[in-house]
Amino acid sequence: MAWLLLLIAGLLEVGWAIGLKYTEGFTRPVPTVLTVGAMVASVGLLGVAMKTLPVGTAYAVWVGVGAVGTAALGMVLFNEPATVGRLVSLGLIVAGIVGLKLAS
């Protein structure tokens, strides 16, 4: 259950990271409220997952899921470059997440 909560927390991190772009410096009320809500929920679920999982593993997976998801959505939503180097690097992060899961 802790791993599922951690995955959801990571996905919420993607939501708030992308949401920051839409807040336009926290000047737009609806995106700001949704972004802050995602932040609170993400950190809250991370904290619950850390009751069971080691702190280093949980934090690394949370950040990794957020980084990969945010980078991928940046490529899709904002036409950020999807170069071979970026894709390979994101693949290495995913491999690290899988490795941490298998090692725990």
At 104 the pLDDT is 82
The sign of the torsion formed by the CA atoms of 31, 20, 77, 43 equals negative
- What sections of 1-83 are H helices per DSSP? 2-23, 29-49, 55-77
Q: Which amino acid is at 60?
A: A
Write the CB contacts of 61 (distance below 8 Å, at least 6 apart in sequence): 6, 10, 97, 100, 101
pTM for the full model? Answer: 0.90
Number of domains in the chain: 1
Residue 8: domain span: 2-103
Dig out the tokens for 91 from the structure: 């693949």
CA 72 to CA 9: how far, in whole Å? 17
At 8 the pLDDT is 98
pLDDT by 10-residue block (mean), the chain, 104 residues: 97 97 96 98 98 96 97 97 97 96 90
